[in-house]
Structure 1
Protein backbone atom coordinates (compact mmCIF):
# COMPACT_ATOMS: atom_id res chain seq x y z
CA UNK A 1 0.00 0.00 0.00
CA UNK A 2 1.54 3.27 -1.11
CA UNK A 3 1.53 6.53 0.79
CA UNK A 4 -1.10 8.11 -1.45
CA UNK A 5 -4.48 9.37 -0.35
CA UNK A 6 -6.27 6.38 -1.82
CA UNK A 7 -3.78 3.85 -0.54
CA UNK A 8 -3.87 5.20 2.99
CA UNK A 9 -7.64 5.04 3.35
CA UNK A 10 -9.18 2.52 5.69
CA UNK A 11 -12.00 0.21 4.48
CA UNK A 12 -14.80 2.31 5.95
CA UNK A 13 -13.62 5.61 4.49
CA UNK A 14 -12.77 4.05 1.14
CA UNK A 15 -16.21 2.47 0.97
CA UNK A 16 -17.92 5.84 1.52
CA UNK A 17 -15.78 7.68 -1.02
CA UNK A 18 -15.62 5.15 -3.84
CA UNK A 19 -18.71 3.03 -3.27
CA UNK A 20 -18.98 -0.43 -1.82
CA UNK A 21 -15.99 -2.63 -2.65
CA UNK A 22 -15.54 -6.29 -2.00
CA UNK A 23 -12.12 -6.07 -0.37
CA UNK A 24 -10.47 -5.06 2.89
CA UNK A 25 -7.18 -3.42 3.72
CA UNK A 26 -4.92 -5.65 5.81
CA UNK A 27 -1.21 -5.57 6.63
CA UNK A 28 1.51 -7.26 8.64
CA UNK A 29 3.94 -5.39 10.89
CA UNK A 30 7.28 -6.57 12.19
CA UNK A 31 9.72 -5.60 14.90
CA UNK A 32 11.52 -2.59 13.36
CA UNK A 33 15.08 -3.78 14.01
CA UNK A 34 14.41 -7.27 12.65
CA UNK A 35 12.59 -5.85 9.64
CA UNK A 36 15.42 -3.40 8.89
CA UNK A 37 18.05 -6.14 9.06
CA UNK A 38 15.91 -8.38 6.88
CA UNK A 39 15.65 -5.69 4.21
CA UNK A 40 19.39 -5.10 4.37
CA UNK A 41 19.99 -8.82 3.77
CA UNK A 42 17.48 -8.73 0.93
CA UNK A 43 19.24 -5.79 -0.75
CA UNK A 44 22.62 -7.36 -0.09
CA UNK A 45 21.52 -10.34 -2.19
CA UNK A 46 20.68 -8.04 -5.12
CA UNK A 47 17.06 -7.01 -4.56
CA UNK A 48 15.95 -3.61 -5.86
CA UNK A 49 12.79 -1.53 -6.05
CA UNK A 50 13.49 -0.09 -9.50
CA UNK A 51 9.97 -0.79 -10.71
CA UNK A 52 8.37 1.06 -7.79
CA UNK A 53 6.89 4.38 -8.91
CA UNK A 54 6.44 5.83 -5.40
CA UNK A 55 3.38 7.69 -6.62
CA UNK A 56 2.09 10.47 -4.37
CA UNK A 57 -0.42 13.14 -5.31
CA UNK A 58 -0.39 11.87 -8.86
CA UNK A 59 3.35 11.96 -9.51
CA UNK A 60 6.61 10.17 -8.75
CA UNK A 61 9.39 11.89 -6.76
CA UNK A 62 12.16 13.68 -8.60
CA UNK A 63 15.79 12.62 -8.45
CA UNK A 64 16.49 15.51 -6.08
CA UNK A 65 13.61 14.50 -3.79
CA UNK A 66 14.63 10.84 -3.70
CA UNK A 67 18.31 10.39 -4.65
CA UNK A 68 19.60 6.85 -5.18
CA UNK A 69 21.76 5.26 -2.50
CA UNK A 70 23.98 3.46 -5.01
CA UNK A 71 25.17 3.61 -8.60
CA UNK A 72 24.87 0.66 -10.90
CA UNK A 73 22.21 -2.00 -11.28
CA UNK A 74 21.87 -2.95 -7.62
CA UNK A 75 23.42 -2.69 -4.18
CA UNK A 76 24.68 -6.26 -3.92
CA UNK A 77 27.07 -7.00 -1.09
CA UNK A 78 26.43 -3.69 0.67
CA UNK A 79 27.84 -3.65 4.23
CA UNK A 80 25.42 -2.81 7.01
CA UNK A 81 27.31 0.40 7.81
CA UNK A 82 26.93 1.70 4.24
CA UNK A 83 23.28 0.66 4.20
CA UNK A 84 22.69 2.70 7.33
CA UNK A 85 24.66 5.75 6.15
CA UNK A 86 22.45 6.55 3.15
CA UNK A 87 20.08 9.35 4.28
CA UNK A 88 17.59 8.68 1.48
CA UNK A 89 17.39 4.95 2.20
CA UNK A 90 13.68 4.05 2.08
CA UNK A 91 14.34 1.23 4.52
CA UNK A 92 14.33 3.86 7.27
CA UNK A 93 10.88 4.03 8.88
CA UNK A 94 9.44 2.06 5.97
CA UNK A 95 6.41 0.82 7.89
CA UNK A 96 5.27 4.32 8.86
CA UNK A 97 5.82 5.65 5.36
CA UNK A 98 3.89 2.78 3.76
CA UNK A 99 0.93 3.27 6.09
CA UNK A 100 0.80 7.07 6.22
CA UNK A 101 -0.72 9.61 3.85
CA UNK A 102 2.41 11.24 2.43
CA UNK A 103 0.44 14.05 0.85
CA UNK A 104 0.06 15.51 4.34
CA UNK A 105 3.76 16.38 4.33
CA UNK A 106 4.34 17.23 0.68
CA UNK A 107 5.08 13.65 -0.37
CA UNK A 108 8.86 13.19 -0.85
CA UNK A 109 9.67 16.89 -0.75
CA UNK A 110 11.55 17.11 2.55
CA UNK A 111 11.76 20.91 2.42
CA UNK A 112 7.99 21.39 2.65
CA UNK A 113 7.84 20.77 6.41
CA UNK A 114 10.12 20.67 9.42
CA UNK A 115 11.67 17.23 9.98
CA UNK A 116 10.21 16.83 13.49
CA UNK A 117 6.77 18.01 12.42
CA UNK A 118 6.93 15.80 9.35
CA UNK A 119 7.68 12.76 11.46
CA UNK A 120 4.82 13.38 13.88
CA UNK A 121 2.34 13.95 11.06
CA UNK A 122 3.38 10.74 9.34
CA UNK A 123 3.27 8.77 12.59
CA UNK A 124 -0.20 10.03 13.48
CA UNK A 125 -1.46 9.24 9.98
CA UNK A 126 0.03 5.74 10.06
CA UNK A 127 -1.53 5.01 13.46
CA UNK A 128 -4.91 6.27 12.32
CA UNK A 129 -4.90 4.20 9.13
CA UNK A 130 -3.68 1.12 10.97
CA UNK A 131 -6.46 1.41 13.53
CA UNK A 132 -9.10 1.66 10.80
CA UNK A 133 -7.87 -1.40 8.94
CA UNK A 134 -10.12 -4.43 9.01
CA UNK A 135 -7.19 -6.53 10.19
CA UNK A 136 -3.47 -6.42 10.79
CA UNK A 137 -1.09 -8.94 12.27
CA UNK A 138 2.34 -9.02 13.88
CA UNK A 139 5.11 -11.27 12.63
CA UNK A 140 6.23 -11.93 16.19
CA UNK A 141 2.76 -13.26 17.17
CA UNK A 142 1.94 -15.80 14.48
CA UNK A 143 -0.65 -17.86 16.37
CA UNK A 144 -2.48 -14.80 17.70
CA UNK A 145 -2.39 -13.32 14.19
CA UNK A 146 -3.97 -16.48 12.81
CA UNK A 147 -6.64 -16.46 15.51
CA UNK A 148 -7.60 -12.83 14.86
CA UNK A 149 -7.66 -13.32 11.10
CA UNK A 150 -9.93 -16.33 11.40
CA UNK A 151 -12.23 -14.54 13.82
CA UNK A 152 -12.33 -11.37 11.73
CA UNK A 153 -13.14 -12.99 8.39
CA UNK A 154 -14.86 -16.20 9.57
CA UNK A 155 -12.26 -18.30 7.75
CA UNK A 156 -10.15 -21.22 8.85
CA UNK A 157 -6.62 -22.07 7.74
CA UNK A 158 -5.94 -25.71 7.03
CA UNK A 159 -2.72 -25.59 9.07
CA UNK A 160 -1.60 -23.71 12.16
CA UNK A 161 0.81 -20.81 11.74
CA UNK A 162 4.37 -21.56 12.79
CA UNK A 163 6.59 -19.14 14.67
CA UNK A 164 9.96 -19.24 12.90
CA UNK A 165 12.49 -17.29 14.90
CA UNK A 166 15.52 -18.59 13.03
CA UNK A 167 15.66 -15.94 10.28
CA UNK A 168 18.51 -14.23 8.45
CA UNK A 169 17.91 -11.12 10.52
CA UNK A 170 18.02 -13.13 13.73
CA UNK A 171 21.38 -14.58 12.76
CA UNK A 172 23.04 -11.16 12.46
CA UNK A 173 25.56 -10.61 15.24
CA UNK A 174 24.36 -7.21 16.43
CA UNK A 175 26.11 -5.19 19.12
CA UNK A 176 24.08 -3.04 21.48
CA UNK A 177 25.39 0.29 20.05
CA UNK A 178 24.52 -0.91 16.55
CA UNK A 179 21.04 -1.91 17.66
CA UNK A 180 20.48 1.51 19.20
CA UNK A 181 21.64 3.14 15.97
CA UNK A 182 19.11 1.14 13.96
CA UNK A 183 16.39 2.08 16.44
CA UNK A 184 17.30 5.75 16.00
CA UNK A 185 17.08 5.46 12.22
CA UNK A 186 13.69 3.81 12.62
CA UNK A 187 12.37 5.85 15.53
CA UNK A 188 8.95 6.35 13.93
CA UNK A 189 8.63 2.65 13.20
CA UNK A 190 9.56 1.84 16.80
CA UNK A 191 6.74 4.07 18.07
CA UNK A 192 4.30 2.67 15.53
CA UNK A 193 5.17 -0.89 16.47
CA UNK A 194 4.67 -0.26 20.18
CA UNK A 195 1.28 1.26 19.43
CA UNK A 196 0.41 -1.59 17.07
CA UNK A 197 1.43 -4.26 19.56
CA UNK A 198 -0.64 -2.74 22.34
CA UNK A 199 -3.71 -2.41 20.10
CA UNK A 200 -3.17 -5.89 18.68
CA UNK A 201 -3.10 -7.50 22.12
CA UNK A 202 -6.20 -5.53 23.14
CA UNK A 203 -8.03 -6.80 20.07
CA UNK A 204 -6.89 -10.34 20.78
CA UNK A 205 -8.08 -10.17 24.38
CA UNK A 206 -11.40 -8.64 23.36
CA UNK A 207 -11.92 -11.30 20.71
CA UNK A 208 -11.17 -14.10 23.18
CA UNK A 209 -13.61 -12.67 25.71
CA UNK A 210 -16.27 -12.32 23.03
CA UNK A 211 -15.67 -15.91 21.93
CA UNK A 212 -16.05 -17.16 25.50
CA UNK A 213 -19.25 -15.13 25.84
CA UNK A 214 -20.59 -16.62 22.61
CA UNK A 215 -19.78 -20.12 23.84
CA UNK A 216 -21.61 -19.47 27.11
CA UNK A 217 -24.65 -18.11 25.26
CA UNK A 218 -24.62 -21.08 22.91
CA UNK A 219 -24.50 -23.52 25.81
CA UNK A 220 -27.30 -21.62 27.53
CA UNK A 221 -29.42 -21.83 24.37
CA UNK A 222 -28.66 -25.52 24.06
CA UNK A 223 -29.72 -26.13 27.65
CA UNK A 224 -32.91 -24.11 27.10
CA UNK A 225 -33.68 -26.07 23.95
CA UNK A 226 -33.09 -29.38 25.72
CA UNK A 227 -35.32 -28.27 28.59
CA UNK A 228 -38.09 -27.31 26.20
CA UNK A 229 -37.75 -30.61 24.39
CA UNK A 230 -37.97 -32.51 27.69
CA UNK A 231 -41.04 -30.53 28.76
CA UNK A 232 -42.70 -31.20 25.43
CA UNK A 233 -42.00 -34.92 25.76
CA UNK A 234 -43.41 -34.96 29.27
CA UNK A 235 -46.54 -33.13 28.15
CA UNK A 236 -46.92 -35.53 25.25
CA UNK A 237 -46.56 -38.51 27.58
CA UNK A 238 -49.18 -37.03 29.91
CA UNK A 239 -51.61 -36.54 27.03
CA UNK A 240 -51.04 -40.10 25.89
CA UNK A 241 -51.66 -41.39 29.42
CA UNK A 242 -54.90 -39.41 29.61
CA UNK A 243 -56.04 -40.76 26.25
CA UNK A 244 -55.24 -44.33 27.28
CA UNK A 245 -56.95 -43.93 30.70
CA UNK A 246 -60.23 -42.39 29.47
CA UNK A 247 -61.63 -45.58 27.81
CA UNK A 248 -60.88 -47.59 30.94
CA UNK A 249 -62.57 -44.97 33.15
CA UNK A 250 -65.61 -44.89 30.89
CA UNK A 251 -65.85 -48.67 30.99
CA UNK A 252 -65.59 -48.70 34.76
CA UNK A 253 -68.22 -45.99 35.00
CA UNK A 254 -70.61 -48.03 32.91
CA UNK A 255 -70.21 -51.10 35.09
CA UNK A 256 -70.48 -49.07 38.31
CA UNK A 257 -73.76 -47.44 37.22
CA UNK A 258 -75.49 -50.81 36.69
CA UNK A 259 -74.50 -52.14 40.10
CA UNK A 260 -75.79 -49.00 41.82
CA UNK A 261 -79.27 -49.54 40.36
CA UNK A 262 -79.42 -53.05 41.66
CA UNK A 263 -78.32 -51.92 45.08
CA UNK A 264 -81.04 -49.32 45.14
CA UNK A 265 -83.60 -51.96 44.41
CA UNK A 266 -82.28 -54.05 47.20
CA UNK A 267 -82.54 -51.15 49.58
CA UNK A 268 -86.10 -50.54 48.55
CA UNK A 269 -86.86 -54.18 48.99
CA UNK A 270 -85.25 -54.13 52.37
CA UNK A 271 -87.31 -51.13 53.31
CA UNK A 272 -90.43 -52.88 52.31
CA UNK A 273 -89.35 -55.84 54.35
CA UNK A 274 -88.77 -53.64 57.35
CA UNK A 275 -92.07 -51.97 56.81
CA UNK A 276 -93.98 -55.21 56.70
CA UNK A 277 -91.98 -57.12 59.28
CA UNK A 278 -92.58 -56.86 62.99
CA UNK A 279 -89.81 -55.43 65.11
CA UNK A 280 -89.01 -57.55 68.14
CA UNK A 281 -88.44 -55.88 71.44
CA UNK A 282 -85.13 -57.69 71.73
CA UNK A 283 -83.60 -55.78 68.80
CA UNK A 284 -83.42 -52.37 70.53
CA UNK A 285 -81.46 -53.35 73.65
CA UNK A 286 -78.79 -54.91 71.49
CA UNK A 287 -78.55 -51.74 69.37
CA UNK A 288 -78.41 -49.49 72.43
CA UNK A 289 -75.76 -51.61 74.05
CA UNK A 290 -73.66 -51.51 70.95
CA UNK A 291 -73.96 -47.71 70.68
CA UNK A 292 -73.08 -47.25 74.37
CA UNK A 293 -69.99 -49.36 74.05
CA UNK A 294 -68.93 -47.30 71.03
CA UNK A 295 -69.34 -44.02 72.94
CA UNK A 296 -67.25 -45.38 75.77
CA UNK A 297 -64.58 -46.42 73.30
CA UNK A 298 -64.57 -42.91 71.71
Structure 2
Protein backbone atom coordinates (compact mmCIF):
# COMPACT_ATOMS: atom_id res chain seq x y z
CA UNK A 1 0.00 0.00 0.00
CA UNK A 2 1.04 3.56 -0.62
CA UNK A 3 0.11 6.17 1.96
CA UNK A 4 -0.10 9.92 1.51
CA UNK A 5 0.06 12.68 4.09
CA UNK A 6 -2.53 15.36 3.46
CA UNK A 7 -3.73 18.33 5.49
CA UNK A 8 -6.07 21.31 5.49
CA UNK A 9 -4.88 24.73 6.56
CA UNK A 10 -7.00 27.60 7.78
CA UNK A 11 -6.64 31.35 8.10
CA UNK A 12 -4.63 31.67 11.36
CA UNK A 13 -6.82 34.33 12.98
CA UNK A 14 -10.04 32.43 12.30
CA UNK A 15 -8.45 29.17 13.43
CA UNK A 16 -7.19 30.76 16.67
CA UNK A 17 -10.58 32.25 17.52
CA UNK A 18 -12.26 28.95 16.75
CA UNK A 19 -9.93 27.08 19.10
CA UNK A 20 -10.54 29.64 21.84
CA UNK A 21 -14.30 29.12 21.53
CA UNK A 22 -13.72 25.37 21.60
CA UNK A 23 -11.64 25.60 24.79
CA UNK A 24 -14.09 28.07 26.30
CA UNK A 25 -16.79 25.39 26.04
CA UNK A 26 -14.62 22.93 27.99
CA UNK A 27 -12.52 21.15 25.36
CA UNK A 28 -9.07 19.95 26.39
CA UNK A 29 -6.14 18.13 24.81
CA UNK A 30 -5.25 16.14 27.91
CA UNK A 31 -5.16 12.89 25.97
CA UNK A 32 -2.55 14.30 23.57
CA UNK A 33 0.87 12.92 24.49
CA UNK A 34 2.89 15.41 22.38
CA UNK A 35 5.41 12.66 21.68
CA UNK A 36 8.72 13.85 20.25
CA UNK A 37 11.91 11.82 19.86
CA UNK A 38 10.30 8.99 21.76
CA UNK A 39 9.25 10.88 24.87
CA UNK A 40 6.61 13.25 26.18
CA UNK A 41 7.50 16.77 27.39
CA UNK A 42 8.03 17.37 31.09
CA UNK A 43 5.71 19.73 33.03
CA UNK A 44 8.56 22.23 33.04
CA UNK A 45 8.87 22.08 29.25
CA UNK A 46 5.13 22.31 28.68
CA UNK A 47 3.37 24.06 31.59
CA UNK A 48 -0.43 24.21 31.71
CA UNK A 49 -2.33 27.42 31.08
CA UNK A 50 -4.94 26.64 33.74
CA UNK A 51 -5.61 24.76 36.95
CA UNK A 52 -8.41 22.26 37.29
CA UNK A 53 -10.05 19.90 34.84
CA UNK A 54 -10.42 22.34 31.95
CA UNK A 55 -10.26 25.98 30.91
CA UNK A 56 -13.96 26.48 30.31
CA UNK A 57 -15.20 30.04 30.50
CA UNK A 58 -11.79 31.58 29.76
CA UNK A 59 -11.88 34.99 28.15
CA UNK A 60 -10.09 35.74 24.90
CA UNK A 61 -7.68 37.95 26.82
CA UNK A 62 -6.80 35.10 29.19
CA UNK A 63 -6.38 32.79 26.23
CA UNK A 64 -3.95 35.20 24.56
CA UNK A 65 -2.04 35.98 27.77
CA UNK A 66 -0.86 32.42 28.42
CA UNK A 67 2.72 32.15 27.08
CA UNK A 68 2.49 28.33 26.97
CA UNK A 69 -0.68 28.21 24.92
CA UNK A 70 -0.26 25.56 22.22
CA UNK A 71 -2.85 27.39 20.13
CA UNK A 72 -0.10 29.85 19.22
CA UNK A 73 1.39 28.88 15.84
CA UNK A 74 -0.30 25.50 16.08
CA UNK A 75 -0.26 24.84 12.33
CA UNK A 76 3.49 25.37 12.01
CA UNK A 77 4.22 23.26 15.07
CA UNK A 78 2.05 20.37 13.85
CA UNK A 79 3.62 20.39 10.38
CA UNK A 80 7.25 20.90 11.40
CA UNK A 81 9.79 18.35 12.61
CA UNK A 82 10.11 19.31 16.28
CA UNK A 83 13.16 17.11 16.77
CA UNK A 84 15.15 19.70 14.80
CA UNK A 85 14.73 22.18 17.65
CA UNK A 86 14.94 19.89 20.67
CA UNK A 87 11.21 19.17 20.79
CA UNK A 88 9.60 21.18 23.62
CA UNK A 89 12.90 22.14 25.26
CA UNK A 90 12.83 25.90 24.72
CA UNK A 91 16.43 26.31 25.94
CA UNK A 92 17.81 23.99 23.25
CA UNK A 93 18.47 26.83 20.78
CA UNK A 94 17.76 30.60 20.74
CA UNK A 95 14.10 31.48 20.20
CA UNK A 96 14.60 33.35 16.90
CA UNK A 97 16.59 30.49 15.39
CA UNK A 98 14.04 27.98 16.69
CA UNK A 99 11.20 29.88 15.03
CA UNK A 100 12.98 30.05 11.67
CA UNK A 101 13.83 26.34 11.69
CA UNK A 102 10.25 25.40 12.54
CA UNK A 103 8.84 27.60 9.80
CA UNK A 104 11.19 26.26 7.13
CA UNK A 105 10.52 22.69 8.23
CA UNK A 106 6.75 23.25 8.06
CA UNK A 107 7.05 24.76 4.57
CA UNK A 108 9.15 21.85 3.34
CA UNK A 109 6.78 19.23 4.71
CA UNK A 110 3.80 21.06 3.24
CA UNK A 111 5.47 21.27 -0.16
CA UNK A 112 6.33 17.56 -0.07
CA UNK A 113 2.69 16.59 0.49
CA UNK A 114 0.87 15.25 -2.53
CA UNK A 115 -2.13 17.32 -1.54
CA UNK A 116 -3.18 20.01 0.91
CA UNK A 117 -6.23 22.22 0.95
CA UNK A 118 -7.32 25.57 2.32
CA UNK A 119 -10.53 25.93 4.31
CA UNK A 120 -11.22 29.30 2.72
CA UNK A 121 -11.17 27.77 -0.80
CA UNK A 122 -13.46 24.75 -0.61
CA UNK A 123 -14.25 24.36 -4.32
CA UNK A 124 -10.62 24.65 -5.39
CA UNK A 125 -9.65 22.25 -2.60
CA UNK A 126 -12.15 19.72 -3.93
CA UNK A 127 -10.90 20.17 -7.50
CA UNK A 128 -7.27 19.64 -6.48
CA UNK A 129 -8.10 16.55 -4.44
CA UNK A 130 -10.09 15.00 -7.29
CA UNK A 131 -7.41 15.74 -9.88
CA UNK A 132 -4.57 14.60 -7.63
CA UNK A 133 -6.05 11.25 -6.62
CA UNK A 134 -8.31 10.64 -9.64
CA UNK A 135 -11.39 10.48 -7.43
CA UNK A 136 -14.76 12.15 -7.70
CA UNK A 137 -16.87 13.34 -4.78
CA UNK A 138 -20.59 12.72 -4.97
CA UNK A 139 -21.46 16.26 -3.93
CA UNK A 140 -19.64 19.58 -4.43
CA UNK A 141 -17.95 21.13 -1.41
CA UNK A 142 -19.84 24.04 0.11
CA UNK A 143 -18.20 27.27 1.28
CA UNK A 144 -19.67 28.00 4.71
CA UNK A 145 -18.44 31.29 6.10
CA UNK A 146 -20.75 31.36 9.14
CA UNK A 147 -18.46 29.59 11.62
CA UNK A 148 -18.03 29.99 15.36
CA UNK A 149 -14.99 32.13 14.69
CA UNK A 150 -17.01 34.24 12.27
CA UNK A 151 -19.50 35.02 15.01
CA UNK A 152 -16.82 36.53 17.27
CA UNK A 153 -16.56 40.31 17.14
CA UNK A 154 -13.05 41.54 17.88
CA UNK A 155 -11.47 44.94 17.41
CA UNK A 156 -8.47 45.67 15.21
CA UNK A 157 -6.05 45.75 18.15
CA UNK A 158 -7.09 42.25 19.17
CA UNK A 159 -6.71 40.99 15.61
CA UNK A 160 -3.21 42.45 15.44
CA UNK A 161 -2.36 40.77 18.75
CA UNK A 162 -3.57 37.41 17.46
CA UNK A 163 -1.50 37.89 14.30
CA UNK A 164 1.57 38.63 16.43
CA UNK A 165 1.01 35.51 18.54
CA UNK A 166 0.66 33.49 15.35
CA UNK A 167 3.32 35.17 13.26
CA UNK A 168 4.78 31.85 12.07
CA UNK A 169 1.34 30.58 11.10
CA UNK A 170 0.69 33.83 9.22
CA UNK A 171 3.90 33.36 7.22
CA UNK A 172 3.10 29.71 6.58
CA UNK A 173 -0.41 30.55 5.41
CA UNK A 174 0.89 33.16 2.96
CA UNK A 175 3.30 30.56 1.59
CA UNK A 176 0.53 27.95 1.46
CA UNK A 177 -1.86 30.24 -0.45
CA UNK A 178 0.78 30.91 -3.09
CA UNK A 179 1.70 27.23 -3.43
CA UNK A 180 -1.99 26.27 -3.49
CA UNK A 181 -2.73 28.67 -6.35
CA UNK A 182 0.29 27.39 -8.29
CA UNK A 183 -0.92 23.80 -7.96
CA UNK A 184 -4.45 24.78 -8.88
CA UNK A 185 -3.35 26.67 -12.00
CA UNK A 186 -1.09 23.79 -13.04
CA UNK A 187 -3.90 21.25 -12.74
CA UNK A 188 -6.26 23.53 -14.69
CA UNK A 189 -3.71 23.98 -17.49
CA UNK A 190 -3.13 20.23 -17.55
CA UNK A 191 -6.87 19.60 -17.78
CA UNK A 192 -7.25 22.06 -20.67
CA UNK A 193 -4.32 20.47 -22.49
CA UNK A 194 -5.82 16.99 -22.05
CA UNK A 195 -9.15 18.26 -23.35
CA UNK A 196 -7.49 19.79 -26.44
CA UNK A 197 -5.73 16.49 -27.18
CA UNK A 198 -9.00 14.61 -26.78
CA UNK A 199 -10.84 17.03 -29.06
CA UNK A 200 -8.11 16.79 -31.71
CA UNK A 201 -8.21 12.99 -31.64
CA UNK A 202 -12.00 13.03 -32.01
CA UNK A 203 -11.76 15.39 -35.00
CA UNK A 204 -9.12 13.21 -36.67
CA UNK A 205 -11.28 10.13 -36.15
CA UNK A 206 -14.29 11.92 -37.58
CA UNK A 207 -12.31 13.06 -40.65
CA UNK A 208 -10.92 9.57 -41.26
CA UNK A 209 -14.45 8.15 -41.20
CA UNK A 210 -15.62 10.80 -43.66
CA UNK A 211 -12.71 9.95 -45.98
CA UNK A 212 -13.79 6.31 -46.38
CA UNK A 213 -15.42 5.43 -49.76
CA UNK A 214 -19.18 5.26 -49.61
CA UNK A 215 -19.21 1.63 -50.77
CA UNK A 216 -16.76 0.63 -48.04
CA UNK A 217 -18.81 2.42 -45.40
CA UNK A 218 -21.99 0.68 -46.57
CA UNK A 219 -20.22 -2.69 -46.64
CA UNK A 220 -19.02 -2.16 -43.07
CA UNK A 221 -22.55 -1.34 -42.02
CA UNK A 222 -23.76 -4.67 -43.48
CA UNK A 223 -21.10 -6.76 -41.73
CA UNK A 224 -22.31 -8.78 -38.73
CA UNK A 225 -21.27 -7.48 -35.35
CA UNK A 226 -18.62 -9.26 -33.29
CA UNK A 227 -21.19 -10.36 -30.72
CA UNK A 228 -23.42 -11.76 -33.46
CA UNK A 229 -20.54 -13.66 -35.10
CA UNK A 230 -19.50 -15.12 -31.73
CA UNK A 231 -23.08 -16.29 -31.20
CA UNK A 232 -23.16 -17.99 -34.63
CA UNK A 233 -19.81 -19.71 -34.07
CA UNK A 234 -20.80 -20.98 -30.63
CA UNK A 235 -24.11 -22.25 -32.01
CA UNK A 236 -22.34 -23.97 -34.90
> Which residue matches 2:162?
182
Partner SS for 2:107:
helix
The count of aligned residue pairs is: 220
Deviations 1:100-120 (CA, angstroms, capped at 9, x unpaired): 000000000000011110000
Question: Using the alignment, how far apart are the partners of 1:237 and 1:36 within structure 2?
Answer: 69
Mapped pair 1:120 → 2:110: no
Residue of 56, 65, 82 corresponding to 1:76: 56
What is the alpha-carbon distance in structure 2 between the residues aligned to residue 80 and residue 106 of structure 1? 30
- Aligned residue number for residue 131 of structure 1: 111
Q: Which residue of 1 aligns with 2:199?
A: 219
Return closer, same or farther for 1:237/1:22 CA change in 2, 3 Å cut-off.
closer
SS for the counterpart of 1:112 is coil
TM-score scaled by structure 2? 0.90
After superposition, the Cα gap between the structure-2 partners of 1:237 and 1:147, relative to the gap in structure 1 and judged at 3 Å, is closer
Are 1:52 and 2:32 matched, yes or no? yes
Matched, 1:192 2:162: no
Matches within 5 A, 1:260-279: none
2:122 and 2:19 map into 1 onto residues whose CA distance is 20
1:29 matched to which residue of 2? 9
The 3 A distance-change label for structure 1 pair 68 and 226 is: same
Aligned-residue offset at 1:237: 5.3
| CA drift at 1:206 | 1.0
Structure 1 residues 238, 177: closer, same or farther in 2, change over 3 A?
Answer: closer
**What is aligned with 1:158?**
138
Q: State the shift of 1:227 in Å.
A: 1.9
Cα separation, 2, equivalents of 1:238 and 1:139: 58
Question: 1:41 — aligned with what?
Answer: 21
Larger Rg: 1
- Gapped regions of structure 1 (runs ≥ 5): 1-20, 241-298
Equivalent position SS for 2:161? helix
The CA distance in 2 between the partners of 1:52 and 1:225, in whole Å, is: 60
Deviations 1:204-253 (A, max 9, x none): 1111111111101000011112222233354725999xxxxxxxxxxxxx
Q: Partners of 2:47 and 2:66 in 1: how far apart?
A: 10
How far apart, CA to CA, are the structure 1 residues paired with 2:146 and 2:219? 71
Superposed displacement of residue 99, structure 1: 0.2
Q: SS at 2:91's partner residue?
A: helix
Query: Aligned to 1:204, what secondary structure does the other structure show?
Result: helix
Cα deviation 1:57-116 (Å, max 9, x = unaligned): 000000000001111111001100000111110000000000000000000000001111
The aligned residue for residue 225 of structure 2 is none
- Write 1 or 2 for the structure with the bigger share of helix: 1
Structure 2 unmatched ranges of 5 or more: 221-236
